[in-house]
């Protein structure tokens, strides 16, 4: 019987209409009898049956017109209650007019009892119709919660406002029985210890007690603003207690106005940064990017692909996506076709080391703005392959920069790294050399550039060269976050190189937002440094990720220390000691007072370096890099002995 009455199937709207009309006719009769002290003979003598039939016909028309019968009873809400009141009131109003205009004169019968009967019937019938819906709704959810075989997780909802109530209703009205909304938790004194939607509102400090008494397994937060209204403290407490934290978007982001299961997300480690949202001056970026031809190198990488996604929103003439990685570039192309329909993009495969190939791209598309994100970035890999680091990070950058001058590019924005500051590895040193070349170009208005291997030509330089420098980005290809996730999924251990190693972290969208802002404000020659927040200890990152997975560090998942890898250092820096910063109008972006180098000097040392590279002599090439960059001191590397030799 239970399965027959309360299964998820919805019943015919005509059955609902029939039940409603039976209730209305019955309440009209009861109202009449109450006023006539249950003298049943009055039903006949007062032509009441004729009026009842008329009232029922009008009621059917009104209820169908207002679609009262089309609602699913178990999901009835306040709006449905108001519509019932309006339907009963309108029925009584129409009935009174038709009766007095047509029936009373035609049948010559009394209508003096109309006001009392209709007034009483309005309250009785409305109450009965509403009680029916409340009873069915309550019984349905009671039966659903009592179904055997379901393993429910008790969940708390943070907050007690409108959004929280909507989420509670959505969870209870969904087809899943996996979650049981136990209560609300909040820090608002106006709602504490009160009831909302039949659920208690507890203080967030009560979470530990609730967990122990009622086996609370999850706490749900709404929206992505997790650093406001005490949320950060509550999230930290949940992680400490081993309670899983899940998030849902605000109701205005629900698909078709409904909350779906795939919108309930586990808290990500990125959310634990607790940064204030970045406020962009989008008009500046729009003015700079709208209608422009834009080239993005390294477009399939973590930063490059996010630049593509954000640039498309500023309505450029077209965007050229250049990368040598076939599969990631193909995946990005499919993403653009699916998510950015109508976007004007051109996909090209090319290696920035190949100047002739890149020249063809510049010749065909004539870019006005270049975002140079292509680079080799993995420190241990480049430490063992220094020649490739030089060919891509130095020669590749030089190729793109020279072509930018040759083809009159307006702005050239280079993506650099904090590892270029007092480098301890080949990768950082190669990026520092690239920075030096880019900055030296900006100081010369007339440049002699080798177009081909034997052809040299003079060019007038109108390009504004801009460098952006920031630290690690969370979730980038090959970063520590995916590696830790994979290790946790395998059951551990989680490998951390050193217990004291720290890094600056920023999310990919956050970093790209600042890159675009810097590109818009740049006048050429600047190195923009981003506010990376406080440095994060990698071991703390690992501990939080284990806790977010609902596990206990060093009990469920072991943490081991493997030692610093080749080229790694414990702490990263964004500024060299001799550099100073200048503030900009954006609080998260500063300008480094750079040390300028002559273009002739930088060109000569790069040519010497490339010559050594062509001889396949890594030792001599790295030695030359150390001569060019005096503060390049190798760490945990086979090249450390060069430093000892040079000091001696």
- The answer to whether residue 632 scores a pLDDT higher than 80 is yes
Average pLDDT of the segment spanning 518-539: 80
Most confident of 30-39, 352-361, 415-424: 352-361
| Residue in 541, 518, 544, 545 with CA at minimum distance from that of residue 531 | 518
Q: List CB contacts of 213: < 8 A, sequence separation 6 or more.
A: none
Residue pair 433/382 in contact by the 8 Å Cβ criterion: no
Q: Report which of residues 511 and 12 the model is more confident about.
A: 511
- Res. 78: pLDDT tops 90: no
Residue 99's pLDDT is what?
A: 75
Average pLDDT over residues 228-233: 69
The alpha-helical segments, DSSP class H, found in 147-256 are: 162-173, 207-214, 231-241
Residue ranges covered by each domain of the chain: 2-146, 153-267, 282-476+506-533+573-617
Contact of 69 with 16, CB cutoff 8 Å: yes
> What's the pLDDT band for 3 if we cut at 50, 70, 90?
very low
Residues 6+ apart with CB under 8 A from 546: 488, 494, 552, 553, 556, 557, 559
User: Residue for token digits 């190198």?
Assistant: 297
Superfamily per CATH, domain 153-267: NAD(P)-binding Rossmann-like Domain (3.40.50.720)
Helix (H, G, I), strand (E, B) or coil at 298: coil
More confident residue, 567 or 327: 327
Please tell me the predicted confidence (pLDDT) of residue 192: 77
Residues sharing a CB contact under 8 Å with residue 618, sequence separation 6 or more, in sequence order: 386, 387
Fold: same for 153-267 and 282-476+506-533+573-617: yes
Whether the predicted pLDDT of 112 surpasses 50: yes
d(CA 2, CA 290): 62
pLDDT of residue 562: 87
Question: Would the pLDDT of 598 be above 60?
Answer: yes
Q: Where are the alpha helices (DSSP H) in 66-161?
A: 78-98, 104-107, 114-146
Residue 596: the pLDDT is: 75
Is CATH 3.40.50.720 what the domain over 282-476+506-533+573-617 is classified as, yes or no? yes
């Amino acid at each position: 019987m239970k399965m027959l009455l309360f299964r998820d199937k919805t019943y015919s709207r005509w059955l609902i209409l029939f039940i409603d009309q039976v209730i209305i006719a019955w309440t009209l009769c009861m109202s009449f009898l109450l006023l006539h002290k249950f003298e049943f003979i009055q039903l006949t003598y007062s032509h009441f049956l004729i009026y009842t039939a008329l009232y029922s016909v009008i009621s059917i028309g009104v209820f169908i017109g207002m679609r009262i019968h089309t609602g699913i009873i178990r999901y009835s809400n306040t709006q449905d209650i108001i519509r019932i009141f309006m339907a009963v009131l309108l029925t009584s109003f129409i009935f009174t007019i038709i009766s007095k205009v047509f029936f009373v004169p035609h049948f010559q019968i009394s209508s003096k009892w109309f006001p009392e009967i209709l007034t009483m019937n309005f309250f009785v019938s409305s109450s009965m119709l509403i009680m029916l819906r409340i009873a069915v709704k309550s019984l349905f959810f009671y039966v659903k919660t009592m179904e055997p075989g379901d393993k429910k997780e008790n969940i708390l909802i943070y907050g007690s406002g409108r959004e929280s109530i909507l989420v509670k209703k959505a969870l209870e009205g969904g087809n899943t029985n996996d979650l049981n909304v136990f209560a609300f938790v909040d820090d608002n004194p106006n709602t504490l210890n009160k009831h909302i939607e039949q659920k208690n509102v507890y203080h967030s400090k009560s979470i530990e007690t609730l967990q122990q008494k009622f086996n609370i397994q999850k706490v749900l937060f709404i929206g992505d603003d997790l650093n406001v209204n005490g949320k950060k403290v509550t999230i930290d407490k949940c992680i400490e207690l081993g309670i899983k934290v899940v998030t849902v978007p605000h109701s205005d982001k629900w698909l078709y106005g409904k909350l779906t299961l795939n919108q309930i997300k586990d808290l990500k480690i990125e959310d634990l940064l607790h940064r204030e949202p970045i406020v962009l001056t989008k008009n500046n970026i729009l003015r700079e990017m709208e209608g422009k031809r834009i080239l993005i190198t390294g477009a399939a990488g973590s930063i490059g692909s996010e630049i593509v996604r954000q640039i498309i929103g500023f309505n450029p003439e077209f965007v050229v996506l250049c990368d040598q990685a076939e599969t990631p570039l193909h995946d990005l192309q499919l993403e653009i076709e699916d998510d950015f329909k109508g976007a004007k993009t051109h996909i090209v495969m090319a290696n920035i080391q190949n100047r002739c190939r890149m020249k063809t791209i510049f010749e065909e598309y004539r870019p006005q703005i270049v975002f140079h994100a292509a680079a080799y970035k993995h420190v241990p890999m480049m430490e063992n392959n220094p020649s490739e680091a030089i060919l891509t990070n130095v020669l590749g950058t030089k190729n793109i920069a020279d072509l930018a001058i040759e083809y009159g590019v307006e702005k050239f924005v280079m993506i650099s790294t904090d590892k270029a500051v007092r480098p301890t590895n080949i990768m950082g040193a190669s990026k520092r050399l690239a920075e030096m070349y880019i900055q030296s170009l900006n100081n010369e208005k007339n440049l002699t550039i080798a177009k081909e291997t034997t052809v040299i030509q003079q060019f007038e330089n109108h390009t504004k060269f801009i460098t952006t420098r920031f630290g690690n980005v969370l979730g980038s290809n090959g970063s520590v976050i995916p590696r830790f996730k994979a290790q946790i999924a395998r059951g551990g251990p989680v490998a951390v190189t050193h217990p004291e190693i720290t890094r600056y972290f920023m999310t990919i969208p956050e970093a790209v937002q600042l890159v675009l802002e810097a590109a818009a404000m740049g006048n050429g020659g600047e190195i923009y440094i981003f506010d990376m927040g406080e440095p994060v200890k990698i071991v703390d990152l690992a501990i939080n990720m284990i806790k977010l997975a609902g596990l206990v560090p060093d009990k469920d998942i072991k943490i081991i220390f493997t030692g610093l890898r080749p080229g790694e250092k414990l702490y990263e820096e964004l500024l060299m000691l001799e550099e100073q910063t200048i503030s900009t109008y954006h609080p998260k972006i500063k300008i480094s007072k750079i040390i300028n180098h002559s273009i002739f000097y930088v060109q000569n040392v790069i040519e010497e370096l490339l010559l050594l590279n062509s001889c396949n002599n890594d030792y001599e090439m790295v030695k030359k890099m150390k001569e060019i960059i005096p503060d390049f001191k190798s760490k945990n590397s086979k090249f450390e002995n060069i430093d000892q030799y040079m000091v001696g």
